[in-house]
Chains A and B, each alone.
Chain A
């Protein structure tokens, strides 16, 4: 499997995503420079964390104009699996590939710590080997992760089962106390209607090795590997047009 990791000039988790794909999971991985338009045959795309263009204006607001985003959009349109992590999630929101927007964290401070997440949906390429209700312990690191959507949009994405992960307590119960940033409906990850594009604020690439204090992020990578390999355990493997 070949992972394509998009590199904006201010990306800073690009090497971490690349390392997870290549060194932890033994897959092929390519960096894809934001000024290029060639996806180099990637089977899955990751938009990594960071501060794409400094983000002085609004997180991700400029990145959507980078040349690489055209091919990313087309790839997503063909049903290809796309994962946005942290700043990558913010960019997918700004690009309109995912619904909603990000506000400054409640409390206005950057927060870096482990949080607990409940898996809400398992029919996305990034959660398909997880089980519904499973609680994952994965770190966050962001100042603008307070997910927001207008009431109508919120209704739609809840009705369409597009909320993929929610912040919870260690037992999987949603509560205000365990919501680290004030996200509406404790939303930590969403997908598009077609379910092949997923954005998440927590960093699964930071939780793939025991040495780093946890391996709950592995399920995100294992899911997409399963999705891209025919004969996966749950549901049909991804059908990608043009491949």
Chain B
């Protein structure tokens, strides 16, 4: 008998239950209720977000596959496709950092090879609480080890990523993982079931009781009982996944498959219903045939288990032996567990007895859809106020000196070198990585062609907290700009939307505004969204994270050897600034480091100017006119210039930039010029002979550009409005920047 306690434990509301009864024309049994509860969970159904996601641009001549499949795909020429997606594994990573992060990597890799693509690169975007807060470093260490443990073993390089530390993520870290693969366009395969009588196969790890209701867990807030949810986190086995990856890619070559899907969230339930639904068919399986790791498992448990490294295949009738032979070679057992039907039903038997019968569409297309109430958050009006003439907050007196301020920002964990992290990742396996981590976007060449792909993931929770619409636009712009800085033309995007509880109108408002911002920026910059994932309920004890849309952008370089990186290359090159600084300090790293507050409005963004800038970057890189390029973001142009000097062999720079007037205090104006985070700016270096040409190209593209200095010496000297403001030894600054995170860990050990 289904009572209110059972419903509550399944995360279903009374009206949702009535809807279930309506679809079935009867009361569901417990197995059916379990199936509904996971398919109608926020995680699987997108019931709060779908109405908004529908507004995103998803089409373009380059888009081969938009949202709705296991991953998106764009045309990269020569008959090839780039298949990519980003996904979150936030909740599991908080409960068990190593396995949570590891299985996040495993899940996104399966999404990619399921499409028939060979995965060739990983990125990640991470958010943690304040770096010095208790627990942060332990969580970070666990998450990084988990990502490394999985990615390194399976042999897919982690070629880049980004990370930030803010108190709002203390109880709710974010682990977003991006994977990209390459496929022949003609070989892309989908997650469909069709052809009555075709066999349904189960392949991979055995099913255990781990992860039951993982999708429901990911659709609820955390409280002090969350640690008790540990059994709902799965354990990853990268070796099993490596076998699955190789075996599946080999099977796909046989042409014996109709469709394939991985068992991720909601396991066997989700894969059977989604494949049936996409193919307009039904699937009938017998759970007793499913390989099981534990004894006495019920059909309820088997259907809801989220054990990792499992795939569901639909095989053409008569071709079963061929498929089984390939899996045999890899020591995997492909088990025939059911058939495709034409009745549109998910039918589950156990030892031949019917235990569940549900129309697919009730679980997918007809799942609940909510237009949740939205109201502008009350905090917003206050935090957007920023009076630069009256800077509140405890200014660190030591930072009154600009050299000291620059060093403090360079040593802040959000800006500091992430070498301690990325050197734990194998970033060179597959011998394609031509822009190493820390040098800008990740760039991998495509063997057999002259081409390369650049990819970047970006997001700024601070900006989105202050203005979700503009913050989300800036995230898209930054990801695409990072790709363009390498010389690659941005082709497509994927998004991972991390927000709090959508049942709170203020959170829903943040969500809707952010989606609007993403849509506007993607349209203007020509990067359609090809897929992604939504993670809601990122709250602990009623406190939500900063709204954090993470955007992954993929771009194409037609000539791999024309790739550009952030480092200065030689003394005597001219340094140019594309774009204009307006001294915008709202939400800046400077205010955070020097005054310890997050206030103001994020920098303005003119999407047309941004598009012109990116087009210009791609053009001049293709003409081999650039020696380096690096965009201005956290910490403004001063940090950008410092980073151009770092890892360059100690090349310094002598630069002069314009002053700005944003406050009465001259010192605030100098800080705004140095550390303001105005968007659409890139610092490039070019050989002196090329300056005229580059300025001409910029003028033709309508991008403000001018020479601001030249490379050389071993100091970074920056004058603002003719007055020297920064004069720092490059090696000393680099030491601060490169060792900040490592030293924090070393101290703890000592």
Are A54 and B238 interface neighbours, CB within 8 A?
A: yes
Given contacts A9-B243, A54-B153, A111-B423, contact A16 B447 (CB under 8 A): no
B425 neighbours in A (Cβ, 8 Å): 110, 112
Please give the residue numbers on chain B whose beta carbons come within 8 Å of chain A beta carbons, in ascending order. 145, 148-149, 152-155, 237-240, 242-243, 246, 329-331, 422-431, 433-434, 436, 445, 447, 560-561
CA distance A110 to B153 in the complex (A): 11
Q: Is the CB of B431 within 8 A of A212?
A: yes
Contact of A212 among B330, B426, B433 (CB under 8 A): B433
Cβ–Cβ contact B560 & A211, under 8 A: yes
Report how many residues on chain A are interfacial, defined by Cβ distance under 8 Å.
33
Q: Which residues from A are CB-within-8-Å of B445?
A: 211
Q: How far is the CB of A66 from chain B (nearest CB, A)?
A: 12
Q: Can you list, as one digit per residue, whether each of A42-56 has a CB less than 8 Å from chain B (1) or not (0)?
A: 000000011101111
Closest to A16 in B: B431
- Bound: A110/B146 CA distance, A: 11
Of the candidates B154, B238, B428, the one having the most CB atoms from chain A within 10 angstroms of its own CB is: B428
Once the chains bind, are A112 and B153 in contact (CB under 8 Å)?
A: no
Q: Decide if A19 is an interface residue (CB 8 Å cutoff).
A: yes
- A residues near B561, Cβ cutoff 8 Å: 211
A–B pairs, 14, beta carbons within 8 Å: A9-B246, A10-B243, A49-B429, A54-B237, A54-B242, A56-B239, A110-B426, A112-B424, A112-B426, A141-B426, A206-B428, A206-B431, A211-B561, A213-B436
| Cross-chain contact A54 with B239 (CB below 8 angstroms) | yes
Q: A109-B424, A113-B423 known; A9 and B330 CB under 8 Å?
A: yes
Q: Which of A15, A53, A141, A211 contacts B152 (CB 8 A)?
A: A141
- Whether A38 is near chain B, meaning CB under 8 Å from some CB there, is no
Closest Cβ neighbor of B141 among chain A residues: A109
- Residues on A with C-beta less than 8 A from B427 are 112
Contacts of B431 in A (CB 8 A): 16, 19-20, 205-206, 208-209, 212
Q: Could you say which of B242, B423, B430 contacts A10, with CB atoms under 8 Å apart?
A: B242
A13 and B433 contacting across the interface, CB-CB below 8 Å: no
Cβ contacts under 8 Å, A9 to chain B: 239, 242-243, 246, 330-331
Compute how far the CA of A19 lies from the CA of B331 in the bound complex, rounded to whole angstroms.
26
Taken residue by residue from 107 to 122, chain A's Cβ proximity to chain B (1 for < 8 Å, 0 otherwise) reads as 0011111000000000
Flag A155-199 by CB within 8 Å of B: 1 or 0 each.
000000000000000000000000000000000000000000000
Give CA–CA (A35, B331) in the complex, Å.
11
Contact A112 B239 (CB under 8 A): no
* Smallest beta-carbon distance A16→chain B, Å: 4
- A7-35 vs B: 1/0 string, CB under 8 Å? 00110110110011001000000000001
- The answer to whether the Cβ of A203 comes within 8 Å of any Cβ in the partner chain is yes
- Decide if B155 touches A112 in the complex (CB within 8 Å): no
- Contact in complex: A141, B242 (CB < 8 Å): no
Residues in A with CB closer than 8 Å to B145 are 109
Residues in chain A near residue B331, CB distance under 8 A = 9
State A143–B152 Cα separation when bound (angstroms). 10
Contacts of A139 in B (CB 8 A): 428
B628 to chain A, nearest CB (A): 15
Bound complex: CA A143 to CA B423 (Å) = 11
Q: How far is the CA of A218 from the CA of B243 in the complex (A)?
A: 31
Most A CB contacts (10 A, CB to CB) among B243, B330, B436 go to: B436
- Smallest Cβ distance from A170 to chain B, in angstroms? 12
Distance between Cα atoms of A208 and B447 in the complex (Å): 14
Chain B residues with CB under 8 A of A56: 239
* Given A10-B243, A143-B152: 11 more A-B contacts, CB < 8 Å: A9-B331, A35-B329, A54-B237, A54-B238, A110-B425, A203-B428, A206-B431, A208-B431, A209-B431, A212-B431, A212-B434
Say yes or no: A15 contacts B153, CB within 8 Å.
Answer: no
Interfacial chain B residues near A53, Cβ < 8 Å = 239
Structural contact, A12 and B242, CB atoms closer than 8 A: yes
B436 nearest CB across to chain A (Å): 7
- Which A residues between 47 and 78 are near B, CB-CB below 8 angstroms? 49-51, 53-56
Q: Which 8 A-B pairs have the closest CB atoms?
A: A12-B155, A54-B239, A141-B426, A16-B431, A51-B153, A112-B426, A113-B423, A206-B428
Complex contacts, B155 vs chain A, CB 8 Å: 12-13, 50-51
**Nearest CB in chain B: distance from A73 CB, A:** 23
Min CB distance, A109 to chain B, in Å? 5
Q: How far is the CA of A53 from the CA of B561 in the complex (A)?
A: 36
| Most A-side CB within 10 Å, residue of B145, B148, B152 | B152
Complex-state Cα separation, A220 to B574, whole angstroms: 40
Complex alpha-carbon distance, A51 and B433, angstroms: 20
Give CA–CA (A112, B238) in the complex, Å: 19
Nearest B residue (CB) for A139: B428
Indicate if the CB atoms of A15 and B423 lie closer than 8 Å. no
Least Cβ distance of B183 to chain A in Å? 16
Q: For A143, list chain B residues within 8 Å (CB).
A: 152
Q: Give every chain B residue within 8 A of A141 (Cβ-Cβ).
A: 152, 426, 428-429
Within the complex, the shortest CB–CB distance from B740 to chain A, in Å, comes to: 18
What residues on A are CB-neighbors of B154 within 8 Å?
12
Please, how many angstroms separate the alpha-carbon atoms of A54 and B431 in the complex?
21
Q: How far is the CB of A68 from chain B (nearest CB, A)?
A: 14
Write the chain A residue with the least CB distance to B153. Answer: A51
> Chain B residues near A50 (CB, 8 Å)?
155
A209 to B428, CA, bound (A): 13
Within 8 Å CB of A54, what residues of B? Answer: 153, 237-240, 242
> A13 is contacted by which of B148, B237, B423, B429 (Cβ under 8 Å)?
B429
What residues of B have a CB within 8 angstroms of the CB of A110 in the complex?
148-149, 152, 424-426
Q: Which positions 136-158 of chain A face chain B at CB distance < 8 Å?
A: 139, 141, 143
CB contacts (< 8 Å) of B148 on chain A: these are 110
Shortest A20–chain B CB gap in Å is 8
- A112 close to B242 (CB less than 8 A): no
- A205 CA / B430 CA spacing, docked (Å): 10
Determine the distance from Cα of A23 to Cα of B424 in the docked complex, in whole angstroms: 29
Q: Decide if A111 touches B424 in the complex (CB within 8 Å).
A: yes
Taking CB atoms, residues of chain A closer than 8 Å to B560 are: 211
* CA of A203 to CA of B431, assembled, Å: 10
CA A139 – CA B426 in complex, angstroms?
A: 10
Instruction: Kindly state the separation between the CA atoms of A51 and B426 in the bound complex, as whole angstroms.
Output: 13
Contacts of A15 in B (CB 8 A): 430
Contacting residues, chain A, for B426 (C-beta < 8 A): 110, 112, 141
Q: Given A12-B155, A23-B447, A141-B152: A112 and B423 within 8 A (CB)? A: yes
Report B744 CB to chain A, min CB distance, Å.
15
Does the CB pair B239–A51 fall under 8 Å? yes
How many Å from the CB of A60 to the closest CB on chain B?
14
Determine the chain B residues whose CB is within 8 A of the CB of A206 once the complex forms: 428-429, 431
Q: How far in angstroms is the closest Cβ of chain A from B430?
A: 6
- In the complex the two chains form, what is the Cα distance from A111 to B238 in whole Å? 18
Interface centre among B153, B424, B434, B561 (most CB of A within 10 A): B153
Report the minimum CB–CB distance from A140 to chain B (whole Å).
9
Q: Which residues of B contact A211 (CB under 8 A)?
A: 434, 445, 560-561
